[in-house]
Every structure is written in C-alpha cells, then in structure tokens.
Structure 1
Amino acid sequence: MGSVLTQLLLLWLLGTQPEATIRVFVVPHSHLDVGWLHTVQDSTQAYVTTVYTSVVEDLTRNKQHRFIIVDQEFFRLWWDGVASAKQKVQVRQLVDQGRLEFVLGGQVMHDEAVTHVDDQILQLTEGHRFLYETFGIRPQFSWQVDSFGASATTPTLFALAGFNGHIISRIDYDLKETMQQDQEMQFVWRGSRSLLAQQEIFTHVLDENGYCSPRAGLPSQQGVSSNIPLLLSKGFYWNEKAVFPDPPWDGMYPNQTVPVTLSNIQRYANTLSYNVRKRAPWFLTPHILWPWGCDRQFFNASVQFANMDYLMGYINKHVSQFGVLMVYATLSEYFQTLHSEHEPVQVRDHRDFLPYSSDMFHSWTGFYASRSGLKRLARRASALLYAGESMFTCFMLAPHRFLDRAWGLQQLQKLRWAVSEVQHHEAITGAHTPKVSDMFVGRLNNGMHGVQKLMSAIVQDRFPAHTGLEPGGYVAVIYNPLAWTVTTIVTLTVDFPKVSVTDESGHPVPAQVQNSKEMPSVYDLLVLTTIPGLSYQYYVIKPSRRAKGDTQVTEATMANTKQFGRRPRRHDSSVGRRLVHMENDCYTVSLDKDTNLMHSIWERQSNQTIQVTQQFMEYEANGDEDQGPISDNYVFTSSETAKPAWETVGMEIVEGELVTEIRQYFYRTVNDRDPTYTVYSRLARGPPGADGELLCHRIEQEYRVGPLELNCEAIWRTSTNLNTARVLYSDNNGYQMQRRAYKHHENNIAR
C-alpha cells in the first residue's frame, strides 16, 4: 500500500510543482527485434524469456514500477510456451491495473518503406486479435520507433485502428534538429490526402536520443567528474548485454555496469538531470517522455529497477537542486498528462518522412533493394494468403466430404504468422543475417505449401477429377480473390505448341502460345479469362489433334517471333532512323533497330508522343571506410556516378493476337553468351469494353538481373522528355499516391 501511495504522491507532485520543474515520465521498455542478428528461437532462448519473466515478477512485487510491451510475436511465444498459470494471472492483474501496458500491439513493429498496406493491416490485426481474445483490450498508442523512416500511410492506419497517439523516431537527422529547435516535435498528423481531419492522430517524435536511454556526456564546464564507469556509453543499463546461446547459469552477466551507490549517486544524478534539461526546450510543455531501455534490455528487471529506484528517489528528494521530478509511467499516463495541458499543436499534412538519413551521406535507401528475393517471396506469400482466406471463407460454408476445417484453419494461421513476422523492420528490409534470412524463407515456403494444399483440396472436393483427358492434358483452376470481376491474361506452361483451351462448358477460350522466356523446351500459354469476384473457373487444356481443314476444334494461336541481332551500345545521338512499331488499341511503342532500345511511346487518346531512353547502369558500392560511409544492407553509398553496365543488346519481338512481348537482352561484354540483364515489356490486346480497355492501357515490364559483380548496385534508368517540373508520384505502401518534389540540399547531404 505504501508504494502505491508513493506513486500517487509523485503523480500529484507532477501537477503541483513550480513551472521551472521539468516533469520526467520514465517509460521502461525492451526493444526486441523479431529476427535481426539472431533467429526467433535463439533470441527466445537467450534473453526474451527472461525479459518477460523478470519484468512480471518485479512489477508484481513493486507497485510503482511500470513497463510497456510492443511486439506480440515474442510475447505470444512466452505466453503459450513458457508462462505458468500463476504468471498468467499476474499478467492479467498488471494489465487491469494499467501498470503493464501493451502499445502498438501488432505481431511486429513493421517497416514503413517497403511493406504493403494490406500486410501492415494483417500483422496489426494478428497481434490485436490475440490481445483482445486474451485480455479484452485494444492498444491505444503506437510505438513505431525503429522503422527506417515514417510513411504517411502508418498514421492513417493507426487512426483508423482507434489509436489516440502515435510515436515515431527515425526521421531525417537535420529535419529532426530543426524540429527540436522550433519545438515542433509534437503535431497532429493528417496522413491521408483524402481523409484529412477525419483520420488524424496526435504524433510525438522522439528526440535525438531515440528510443534508447541517453548516451550523451556532460560538458566539462559543468564541473562534474566524468568518472562514471561505463555509464555514458550504456544508457543507464545495469543488467549488461544478453549472452548467447543461453543465459549464464548463475545469473551473473559479465562486465556489469557499476551499480548506483552512495559514493557515485551524485554523479549519476547530475548526468541524468543534465540530459533532461538539455532536451526540455525541444518540447512545448514541461512534460518529458524519457524512454528507459534499448535493444535486449530488462532480462534482469530487478537489477534495473533497483538502481533506477535509488537514482530517481535521490533526484526527487532534491528537486530544488536538479529542477527535475521523475516518475515511472506508461504511455497512457504520459499522454493523459499531456492532454490535460491543452497546449495547441500544429497540424501536419500528408507529407511523409522518407527517405531516412541518420547523418551526412548516410541515406538509408540501401534496404529498398536488399534481399530482393525475400521481398518477392513475401509479396507472393501475402497474395496467396489472401486468396486462400477468401476461398476458404466462401466455399467452406457448404458441406465438404473430405476436408477438415480445423486443418484448413491451421494452414491459414501458419501462413498468417509467417507473412506477419516478415513485415518486421529488420526482416522485409533485408537488414538481417543469413541465418535469420533462412528462417524467414523457410517459414514462408512452409506456410505457402500448406495453403496451396488447402486450396487444391477445396477445389478437388467441390469438383471431382475430370476423366477423359488426353495424355499430357490437364485442368487449370484460376481463382479471383477480389470482390469484383476481373479480366486479365494469365500465363501457364505447356509442353506442346498446339493446344486447345476450353472452359467448363466446353466452349473455346481465347489463348496464345509462344516460346517460353524461361526454358527453351517448353511454351508459355497465355489465356484470356474473365472471372467474377470471389469465384474460380477451371479450364481444360489439352494437346490439339485438329486435322487439316477441321473447323470444329479451336486451337490457341501461335505467336510470331522476330529476332534482331545484337547491337552495340552507341556513344552518339544518331538514333531513331530505323524504327519498328508495336501497337495495341492504346499505345504504339517504337523501337530503334540500330540500338534495340525503346525510342518512343505514342498514346492514342491524347495523341501525345514521348521520347524514351533505356539503360541498365551500375554504381560501384563504396567499401572503403576512408572514402566515406560503407554501402551495406541499410545505407546506399557509391564511390562514383553510375555507368552503363552493358556493351551489346539483343532483342526479340513475340507478336500474338492477345499479347505482344518485347524481350531485350543486355550483355555485359561483346563476347558474353548469357545476358546480365533482361527486360520483358508487354502490350495486351483486350476484348471490347471497359475490362479490355484496362488491359490495353497497361504496359507491363518485368526485369531479370544477375549475376552481378561484387560491390555493384544495379539500376534500370528510363528517361523521357516529359516536363515533370522535378515532381514524381509514388504510391504510399499501395494505399494512396504521394507527391514527391525534388529537394535540393546544401553540403551534399544524401537523400
């Protein structure tokens, strides 16, 4: 009871101190990355289990202590596999009392630059569902403090999810410095151009200290001894670093920081209060959010809190000396106090905080392309998951003879977990170790295999296997997981060039056969299909046995392939004299036969022609620390400007009734047998009507890259003569379009 009264007294004092007193809300937390340097299993074994166990034990004993939990993947593993019945009761009590608070609450803390909004919603829903089903709560505040930049989609999503506050940290370093000086670290963010004030959220930017405890030292003129053992480099942590692969058996971690004692407490207090006074002018109110924690902290919570209790108690007894009053708090307690001030804040529009730069020449854009194979796999897994869920929901309502619903839900849940966890800001970004990458890839592949089996089982259960197929024939099932009718062209693979395609009623379906761009021994079969929303259709594909002159059997048309010999890279501008034209009902694409490169595109509707140039180029990534920042999975830095990465270009034009495909092969040297880069451009010819017009208006491009040389970063540069006024539009996580104007920065600050 005494400790509760102490905490209440401190909270009361926060509201009764003179204006000069800075009120510090110490928010204990542990930043637990779901896959970065170590796998989920290794991290759980080494420190995650002890974090939750020791925190729950300490908070149960000490009523004034607080703690926030962010990601749910690790907590769910602890809750389901480690926590005892007694510990679960204690957690429920702590949550009910508001001393243990779940913030953000997604399965992970997702990345904001290379994730899709659907997957952001998925992982947030996955975590929130667990919290609601287990504790009957929904998080009220975000803690998006380590994603590499901040997208405008995220505040909109969190506002729609019912959050009352949004906390971010990693924004451009010089912008943050300016915002600190101008006291603009708190604002109302209207992240959506269309929703505006309908979905706005109060946003707090952590200052230059980030989500870790401060590491800045004291200036010499303060007259304070700097002999504080290891304190300033460790950020007020007394439980040291986690030990892999297992915690020490005796609980004694090596090189522990010297604890707070009577002989050194004055120096600790001077250091902490100096940091608080330094950051106080950056905010409009005297209420300072002071995150206490960092990566892999609080695996020995009792040691952490015992030292901080002593230090905070000393400072609070000498408020007149330090000008600081400190109290443990959750985010709810901090924001409630802040809200009571009724301090007006500025409104920020839909602009985002991308890209993120941590210092001069440290622009975090390298992760946009790091581990591109994992990015592709994650997107494919996400698409398969949504298709599997919608098919299961639609067709499992009817009786099924052979399909176990519980097994089906298990397959979907396995993939939901895998797709959710790979949205983590150290996962889909590619900023993790090879061992961790193997973990993500394995889980995604296993989950996809299970959902593919589920979807096959649903189809087979509803439609028994067809009989009477000729040797080599098969049935292809195409599913539309969207809620509206879709007309599109799907690509299948067949072993025979003469093929007939019919629907389930036996009617012929428009189709095109062409030489495969993947393997010379097979063929690509392009099928034009129109499928209502949340439905699937099956097509019978079989070798054609049509006799000469037989008009009863309709074959897929065979595309005509024209090959153009290799052309050397030109160093002059004398191009465009010999053109070959490819067209559909919307565009005419002109290619230069002297270079095998695209020359121009004419749009029929506007009668406008734009000039086009194409180049694969390479940057030499900087690997010399003496020449500046190293280019790595996070940061992209080059040692020179981009240079063309090819000497000759070969071209094929595959022209058919449904699709014309332009295949361009870029060879690094004249004598290379295989291309280093390949571009496939497609123009579709759709049927009459709105759906066909949508097909017509797309020029699709697909790129194949590699093998690359060591320390090279490849780019595909398409230049036009459009007058864009240095403004481009890119999508925000597949949600809305973002206007991006060119920014000029002095001192060559990287962007």
Structure 2
Amino acid sequence: MGTPPLASGVCAGGGSAVWFWMNSCTLSSPVQLISFLFWLLLATPGAWAADYKTCPTVKPDMLNVHLLPHTHDDVGWLKTVDQYYYGILNDVQHASVQYILDSVICSLLEDPTRRFIYVEMAFFSRWWKEQTNATQDTVRALVRQGRLEFVNGGWVMNDEATTHYGAIVDQMTLGLRFLQDTFGSSGRPRVAWHIDPFGHSREQASLFAQMGFDGFFLGRIDYQDKDDRKKKLKMEEVWRGSASLKPPTADLFTGVLPNNYNPPKNLCWDVLCADRPLVEDPKSPEFNAKSLQKYYRTNHIVMTMGSDFQYENANMWFKNMDKLIRLVNEQQAEGSKVHVLYSTPTCYLWELNKANLTWSVKEDDFFPYADGPHMFWTGYFSSRPALKHYERLSYNFLQVCNQLEALAGPEANMGPYGSGDSAPLNEAMAVLQHHDAVTGTARQNVVDDYARQLAAGWGPCEVLVSNALAQLSYNKQNFSFCRELNISICPVSQKSENFQVTIYNPLGRKVKHMVRLPVSEGIFFVKDPHGKTVPSNVVMLPSSYGKTSRWDLLFSASVPALGFSMYSVAKVTVRTPQASSLSGKSRKSRSHVLSIENEYIRATFNSDTGLLMMIENMEQTLSLPVKQGFFWYSANIGDEESSQASGAYIFRPKHSKPMPVSRWAEIHLVKTALVQEVHQNFSSWCSQVIRLYPGQRHLELEWMVGPIPMQDFGGKEVISRFDTPMKTKGEFYTDSNGREFLKRRHDYRPTWKLNQTEPVAGNYYPVNTRIYISDGHMQLTVVTDRSQGGSSLKDGSLELMVHRRLLADDGRGVEEALIESGAASTVRGRHFVLLSSVSDAAARHRLLAEEVVLAPQVVLAQGGSPYYSWAAPRTQFSGLRQDLPPQVHLLTLARWGPKKLLLRLEHQFTVTEDSGRNLSSPVTLNLQNLFRAFTITQLQETTLAANQPLSKASRLKWMTDTGPVSYPAPSKLDPTSITLNPMEIRTFVVWVQWQESS
C-alpha cells in the first residue's frame, strides 16, 4: 500500500515547475539530478558542516523571529502505527506520514532557505527504506546542509511519567543509531524535543544530557507554572537533572515553547486548518512577534509552525511562510526592528548560547501537569494497567533476550530452533514508549495493536533464547515459555509427570528466586543442578476456593549472576497434599490474633476485619501499625465547578474521600515450610494475597481487581491505601523513571505558588517503581510492578491507583471512554512493602526494585538430547567470573555488530544512600576479567545513547546563577580500571571474541 517512492513524481528546481501528485516528487532525468545535486551542495555556506555552522544569518540589532516548520506525528493514538503511516481510515483522523515526508522534501528543494525538522524515527526509517538511491542521496544532502534537521531522534517521542529509564535509553539508542548509520554525524540531533508529553521528569533531562544533547524544548507545562515563568522571565533556564552527578554532567538548557507546539493564532496554513492564506498585510505577524518577546530574555523568539500530522501538502505551508517572511522583512526599510527567518530549534539554541547570559537553575520536575483549573493530567499514570504490566514484562524479557544473544554469540541467531532475532521486540518496545502508548491514552483498537506488536516481538526472541540456552547448556530441549504464568496457566507443568525448569537470572549478582508453577494435584520431587533434592510444596491457588482445585508447585531456586540453573521436577504421587499445609477456613471473624512471619518480618491481621494491622521488622526491632485496604474514587463526569470529567488522561474524582471496597475481608490462611499467605476476599471483583517467603525482607501483596462493576452507572478509580500513625509533615517521595527520588509536599510546588483546585488529583504523582513515606526514623516503601499514580494525601498515608474504569471521555481528543473489557478488565499485580530504618532503606528498596524490574526468566522443557554429543549437559552457568558489587547494575548487554557488543554499567545508588555499607562510594571494575563467555579485545567509551565516542562529545556551555562549573577532560580509558561514581552510567562499545562453545 501507499504511494510510490519519491522518485516517481516530478519536482524540478523552479517553483512553477513543481508538480504534486499524491504529494510525491522527483527530478525528471539523471542529468538534471546530477546538476541539481551539485547546486544543492553549493547553495549555502557550510554545506558539509555537521553542526551550528549551517545555521542562517540573524540580525543582532533586531528581534529575530525563528520560524520552526515541523510536524508532530504520533506513533499511534486514534489510529494504529500502520494506519498513520499509510493514511488509512482518514475518516477517523486525516493523517498520512508517508505523504508528509514526500511533500516536505519537495518543498525544501524549492528554496535553499527553507528548513524543516523531523522527530519520530519509527516513521522516518520506514519511509527511508522505501526510497530510491537517488532520493536518499538528495535527502542526505539536505541533512548535511541543516535544511532537514532531526531533533530528539528517538524511535518515538517517549512519555516521561510511565516509562522506565532503561526503556527510554533503549528507544533513544535505537533511533539515534539509525540516524548515525544513515547520515553520520550530520544526522546527529543536538536538541531534545518533547512538545507533547504530559509533564516532564527530572530523570529525562539527566538522560538527555548524558546522551550529549545541548538543549531541550518542552511544549506542555502546568498553566500556573507557565504564567509564573512569563512574569519572571523564566521560560528558559538550565535544568539540573541529578542531585548526585557533578554539574554540568546532567545539566541541560531547557526552554518552554510559547504556544505548546502549535502555530500562532491565524497563522496555521495546513490543509487541516481553517486559517485564510496570508494577504499583503504585515501588521498581524509583527504584532504577534512583539507580544511574545516580553516573555523571553534575548532578541530571539520562536514560532512553531506546524502541529499534529501537518504538512501533507507542504507547499501550502511554505508558500505562506515565504510570503510572511518577505512582507515582515520588507518593513525593515521603514524602520521595523523585526526580522523573520526559517530556522530550527538547534539554530535558535545556538543564538541563545551566544547571548552569553546567566541562567537560573531548576532542580525539581514538571509534574503534575494541568492545563486549567480542575484539569490535572494524573489519570494516565494508572490508565490501562494490563498494558503497563505487559510493557514492563516485555522490557524484562528483552533484556534476557539481549543478554543471551551477547553471551551465546552468533549461534543464538542461527541455531537448532531456527532464526532468532531480538530486533522485533526491541522495535515493539520502542514503540510502546510513545507518549500515547504505555500511557494508556490511545483508543482501544490501537492499544490492541500495541499488544499485538509486543506479542509478535516475543516470538523471535523466544527462538533466540532457546538457541542460546541450547548452546550454553550443551542440551537441546523443547523449551516452553509459558506466557500465561501470570494467570497460572502452563501446559508443560500442568500435564507432564517429569519436566525441567531453567531459570535465567539477568542481574549481575546471584539471586534466590521462589519458582511458582501451576501443576496438577499431587506431590513432586525437585532436584537442583547438582542432583540434590530441594524442599518443595504444593499449595492451592487463591482463586480456586470453592471451585475446581488448582495448585501451584513452589521451590526456591538459586541462580548465578547473568546465568541459569536447571532444576528437574518429577511427580511421585497424585494424591492431595497433606492438609497440614493448609490451616484455617474462610472466616469473617476470629477472636485470636492472626499473623504470618519468617525470620525477618511479621505481619499481623485484625481478626475481626481480616485487614492488615501491623508490620514488624524483627531484624531491626521496628514495628508499625499499618492498615491496608482497597478504596475507590467516584469518577467525575462534570459538575457546577467545571465540565471536566475523569478520562484516560485526566483524574478528577467527585469527592475527596474514597469509598472502601469493603470494610472487612473474608480470609484464608495458608502456612507451609516455603510460604505463609493470608488470602483476602473483599468483594466479587477485588481480592488479595499477602505472603511471605523464607529469607524475604519484604511483604508481598498480590492483588486482583476487576472487572470493576458499573451497575451504578458511575466510573470508579480503585486504589490500594496504607494508613499508618507516622508523622510525615505532608511529605512523601516518588522515583523519577526508576532512578533518583524527588520529595513531594502536599498542596505545594517548589518553584511557584500553587492555587490548588483538585485536592486529590492535584497531589498525584507518577510512581514508576517506588514510593515511600518516612518520619525520620522509619521508612515505609512500596515497590510496584508497573507504573502507577500515587500520593500521600494525609500524614502517614500512602496510596497507589491500581485500576480505573470510566464512563466519560475527558475531552482531550480520544473521544472514547476508558471502559476496558475482556481479559484487560481484570488486573493482577503485586506491591512489595518494605519497613526499615531510614539509614538502611535505600540498600533494601534499590536492590528489590532491581529484582522486580529484571526478574528471572523461567523456561520449561520435557527434556531432550544433548546439543553436543561430546559434552555432558551443563546444568548451571554464569556469564560472569564474579558477581558485580551491589552498587553496580548491568543496565545493557546487547549485540552491536558481528563481533561487537554494547555494554552499560550503572552505579545505582545516590550520594546520600550509603546505608553504612559504602554504597554511595565509587566502585572500580576490571572489565577484562569480568565476563566468562567472551574476551574483550577492544573497547570504546561512548555517550549514553552510543551514537558518538565520548572523547569527541562536546556540549554547549552555559553560565548559571549557581556559579561556575568545571569541565574536566575525559581520562584515558583503562579497561582494567573502570570507575563508577554514584548514579553514573558508563556506556561502551566492546569488540569481543567468544569462547569456544561459550
């Protein structure tokens, strides 16, 4: 489908000779093409320069108005990615990215002063592959001249609230690598461009700075914040993205665009706009420019000329902008001090830098975002929790896939199970980071397509993992990945009398993992990699009481760092496990105390209500009354104060006080040698299992919510709430994309005075992996298994939104209520609760969150023949010669080329999280002796996204009101002595030689 490539229409040099046919164009003959390319390369000074030398000339004594022609192309929203690219279903939304790019290239070729920026590599890379060699050469020339400029350069423009930093880095790396491979250094973006995400995280700024960006431009910030910035001339400043990294490592110049990302009033000249073409009247544009200047500090301002899926007929836009530039600039002869020019964000940033001003510094973030009173965009933090969990599981599996591809070498790609490939899942995961994907803010059919893309990506990775495990274990088996383990379905374990369980650990340190597998009723023997029998239990599943019996087999597995352990399971009897493993029956009330405990933690329950009432950390002699339960906010559909309703984006409850799902829970107690559980049933649609395993220093709460009932014709937003007597001074802490923490205060913003219009929604923040409260002595931390919205609305209280189902649209464009049905309407998830001393908390929650995000991958098989006839099967393997220190996280280990790998190592503690264990101290590693599966023969350190050598990276320098900073030269790279400072990520491209048969 779609149009022919660019080279099948006509696009000659002169304006009158341009013919548009389905918005495609080309040069009419090879001779013309050669002549034209020669002209193209000589048309502007600095045509071969890769940086600011290609910028247009400005006038220092005038107000320079930088016109930024652009299109904003959502990688899925109202239509799927394919539908947006090809222009399908234009009755839903008129949008076709292929025609936009065809048309823009034609218009740029018309006039060497014209410029255009493009962002989303998910679309551009697809378009690029469809073009002829001649068209590609033409586009390369435009890029070298800076006339077609890439900004941001990720696969997508990612969300900043619901995305994990590892997935952000991956999607940016994918897009920037495409640009580097295709255009070289001239295609490398200098500017980050997040014009549509609904709030901005501090960690995002830190990551962009470490990727080498010079600046960052935002579209959406809170309406009160924006008004305040206009008054204080703080629409542009330096954002300090980290409290641990030494400035300016994570510092990034950040500007707020004047009109979100849309054109000024009356100046929208797209086929999608209703504005009239420009007539011979320069007054309006000059007035607009001067009205904007008062909010900015230099004689340079920007006008964003474009919007969603615009420029399908680029000629309309450029013809009117040509006229605007000519008319306004002609007034200079009569004394006007306004100069209008085609520009790009990079060239605008360059002029700001040359102004040599001192800029203020921002150290917090831009959450939550509101675009008006009662209009807080805090609902999407929790929308579509099933998709959010699938995305997080897919990130986990992608890292497993990448690592095994690196450890096993080429045989992972071509092995006994066929052709394995990590690229499809890598691309699908990149698409999911889009700001209308993992956010849950797309239409239902688009969400279904996102899930389809993930599922399609899992398949080639499963083949790759199977090939790698066969290679590394010397054993070929019929591996089964049991994708439905989260709903206790796995045919191999449920139907087989004997089977093998391979557990792969993607962390750089040894872990103990409690394996839970659905089985048929009976007793099983489990043997470890050395043939020794290990303790195991069979327990009844919580969902099966009163129904057909279903069972889980439990055993504890010890798995080496970056490696696997193989356990064998044999069924020895079909009889029911002894009743002693189950104690207690469903009850509403009991007079005795009910508790579960292990050697570290005790959890006590109210025997009258069945609710959690106390958590004790016996190791540190800490106890805290904790009452946990489920509540729901009644969703607003509009009222007298505002017509704003709760929807996919917006959270707006009718009342500040939520309703309890139930004031008591029907409970059931399970106690075995390997697990202690309290099963709580709150209602027909809400239940929970609170459990403890031996050796576990946290409490696990596995909840199941849905389908949320709608019989009362009201939307509901369901929370899990923890109430304690802690005195927390209205403060709580949330993570920023899974890395550093920010302090939050009830009804407060650090940099401007808040007029609070929504006491609940206006205090909600994104929780990517953790939220905690503290009284200075104790800390209660909750680790999540997906991104959720959370808050502390009163002292000692902490809540997380687990599910939402709504009957109204919130008026932000989706035009569809958030009513999920089918499998997605019932959601199962986990919260991990830690009670610890403040001094010890970081050591516990950081390592726990690491284990939750990168959990062991369980693979089953019924047994098979040796892969190598000369070798006995290997039942245990580690890709490392020694475990990484607890401070160090292996963020990335992935194939980068035929004999190259991409390696990222991260210090995962901040400067204030020492915990008495030197966890905030620098760590030095010897990379040459680190890996067992391969030998590093050469390495090169790069920026975070691996698109330029660190030794060649150079960023613009900015003066700030916090004083001067130092710019130390990179030290000589010594692979035997790689030092990581707190919160530092170091990225390397390494050349390797794999060990024979690994």
Query: Of 25, 38, 58, which residue of structure 2 is paired with 1:14?
Result: 58
Specify the alignment match of 1:481 in structure 2.
Answer: 506
The one-letter amino acid of 1:464's match is K
1:174-573 equivalence runs, <5 A: 174-215=224-265, 231=266, 236-241=267-272, 257-261=275-279, 265-266=280-281, 269-319=282-332, 322-349=336-363, 351-396=364-409, 402-403=415-416, 407-409=419-421, 412-460=422-470, 462-465=474-477, 472-519=497-544, 520-544=548-572, 559-566=581-588
Q: CA deviation at 1:439?
A: 0.9
Q: CA deviation at 1:747?
A: 5.2
Calculate the TM-score normalised by the size of structure 2.
0.64
Question: Residues 272 and 602 (structure 1 numbering): CA distance in 2 closer, same or farther, change over 3 Å?
Answer: same
Q: CA deviation at 1:193?
A: 1.6
Partners of 1:185 and 1:557 in 2: CA distance: 68
Specify the alignment match of 2:872 in structure 1.
Answer: none
Specify the alignment match of 1:248 in structure 2.
Answer: none
Specify the alignment match of 2:219 in structure 1.
Answer: 169
> What SS does structure 1 have at the residue aligned with 2:665?
strand
Q: CA deviation at 1:281?
A: 1.5
Q: Does 1:71 align with 2:115?
A: no
- Given that 1:378 and 1:419 are in contact with CA atoms closer than 8 Å, whether structure 2 keeps it comes out as yes
- Given that 1:511 and 1:557 are in contact with CA atoms closer than 8 Å, whether structure 2 keeps it comes out as no
Higher deviation after alignment, 620-629 or 733-742: 620-629
Q: Does 1:590 align with 2:604?
A: yes
Partners of 1:399 and 1:709 in 2: CA distance: 47
Q: CA deviation at 1:464?
A: 3.1
Specify the alignment match of 2:718 in structure 1.
Answer: 714
Specify the alignment match of 2:74 in structure 1.
Answer: 33
- Given that 1:180 and 1:207 are in contact with CA atoms closer than 8 Å, whether structure 2 keeps it comes out as no
Partners of 2:414 and 2:223 in 1: CA distance: 61
Specify the alignment match of 1:115 in structure 2.
Answer: 163
Q: CA deviation at 1:450?
A: 2.8
The one-letter amino acid of 1:681's match is I
Question: Residues 471 and 104 (structure 1 numbering): CA distance in 2 closer, same or farther, change over 3 Å?
Answer: closer
Q: CA deviation at 1:703?
A: 1.5
Partners of 2:476 and 2:629 in 1: CA distance: 51
> What SS does structure 1 have at the residue aligned with 2:585?
strand
Higher deviation after alignment, 469-478 or 384-393: 469-478
Specify the alignment match of 1:100 in structure 2.
Answer: 148
Q: CA deviation at 1:637?
A: 0.9
The one-letter amino acid of 1:167's match is F
1:108-138 CA distances to partner (integer Å, 9 max, x unpaired)? 0000001111110111011011111111133
Higher deviation after alignment, 59-68 or 321-330: 321-330
Partners of 1:460 and 1:16 in 2: CA distance: 67
Question: Residues 747 and 143 (structure 1 numbering): CA distance in 2 closer, same or farther, change over 3 Å?
Answer: closer
Specify the alignment match of 1:738 in structure 2.
Answer: 742
1:663-742 equivalence runs, <5 A: 663-667=679-683, 675-686=684-695, 696-710=696-710, 711-742=715-746
> What SS does structure 2 have at the residue aligned with 1:529?
strand
- The gaps in structure 1 that reach 5 residues or longer are 216-230, 242-254, 548-554, 568-575, 668-674, 687-695
Q: CA deviation at 1:72?
A: 0.4
Query: Of 87, 107, 112, which residue of structure 1 is paired with 2:135?
Result: 87
1:340-364 CA distances to partner (integer Å, 9 max, x unpaired)? 1101101222x11111111111010
The one-letter amino acid of 2:601's match is Y
1:386-416 CA distances to partner (integer Å, 9 max, x unpaired)? 11111121123569984478x213xx11111
Question: Residues 124 and 596 (structure 1 numbering): CA distance in 2 closer, same or farther, change over 3 Å?
Answer: same
Q: CA deviation at 1:471?
A: 5.7
Name the count of aligned residue pairs: 674
The one-letter amino acid of 1:157's match is L
Partners of 2:496 and 2:459 in 1: CA distance: 27
Specify the alignment match of 2:644 in structure 1.
Answer: 629
- Given that 1:238 and 1:259 are in contact with CA atoms closer than 8 Å, whether structure 2 keeps it comes out as yes
Q: CA deviation at 1:556?
A: 12
Partners of 1:401 and 1:732 in 2: CA distance: 39
> What SS does structure 2 have at the residue aligned with 1:544?
strand
Q: CA deviation at 1:709?
A: 2.4
1:539-598 CA distances to partner (integer Å, 9 max, x unpaired)? 111112599xxxxxxx9997334224135xxxxxxxx97422221122221111111011
Partners of 2:171 and 2:63 in 1: CA distance: 38
Specify the alignment match of 1:644 in structure 2.
Answer: 660
The one-letter amino acid of 1:102's match is F
Q: CA deviation at 1:474?
A: 0.8
- The gaps in structure 2 that reach 5 residues or longer are 1-38, 88-95, 480-492, 749-753, 763-998
The one-letter amino acid of 1:542's match is A
> What SS does structure 2 have at the residue aligned with 1:296?
coil
The one-letter amino acid of 1:14's match is V
Partners of 1:466 and 1:518 in 2: CA distance: 30
Q: CA deviation at 1:607?
A: 2.1
Q: CA deviation at 1:272?
A: 2.3
- Given that 1:652 and 1:664 are in contact with CA atoms closer than 8 Å, whether structure 2 keeps it comes out as yes
Partners of 1:16 and 1:460 in 2: CA distance: 67
Question: Residues 96 and 609 (structure 1 numbering): CA distance in 2 closer, same or farther, change over 3 Å?
Answer: same
- Given that 2:241 and 2:252 are in contact with CA atoms closer than 8 Å, whether structure 1 keeps it comes out as no
Partners of 1:677 and 1:72 in 2: CA distance: 42
Question: Residues 591 and 67 (structure 1 numbering): CA distance in 2 closer, same or farther, change over 3 Å?
Answer: same
Partners of 1:327 and 1:424 in 2: CA distance: 31
> What SS does structure 2 have at the residue aligned with 1:721?
coil
- Given that 2:611 and 2:664 are in contact with CA atoms closer than 8 Å, whether structure 1 keeps it comes out as no
> What SS does structure 2 have at the residue aligned with 1:14?
coil
Partners of 2:369 and 2:756 in 1: CA distance: 17
Query: Of 14, 20, 23, which residue of structure 1 is paired with 2:64?
Result: 23
1:40-59 equivalence runs, <5 A: 40-46=81-87, 47-59=96-108
Q: CA deviation at 1:699?
A: 1.2
Q: CA deviation at 1:452?
A: 2.2
Specify the alignment match of 1:249 in structure 2.
Answer: none
Higher deviation after alignment, 453-462 or 55-64: 453-462
The one-letter amino acid of 2:208's match is F
Q: CA deviation at 1:427?
A: 0.8
Q: CA deviation at 1:510?
A: 3.0
Specify the alignment match of 2:634 in structure 1.
Answer: 620
- Given that 1:35 and 1:436 are in contact with CA atoms closer than 8 Å, whether structure 2 keeps it comes out as yes
Query: Of 625, 636, 639, which residue of structure 2 is paired with 1:611?
Result: 625
Question: Residues 3 and 260 (structure 1 numbering): CA distance in 2 closer, same or farther, change over 3 Å?
Answer: farther
Higher deviation after alignment, 368-377 or 639-648: 639-648
1:160-216 CA distances to partner (integer Å, 9 max, x unpaired)? 11111111222211011101110112222111121141423333332451111123x
Q: CA deviation at 1:257?
A: 4.1
Partners of 1:322 and 1:400 in 2: CA distance: 65
The one-letter amino acid of 2:558's match is T
Specify the alignment match of 1:573 in structure 2.
Answer: none
Question: Residues 558 and 66 (structure 1 numbering): CA distance in 2 closer, same or farther, change over 3 Å?
Answer: farther
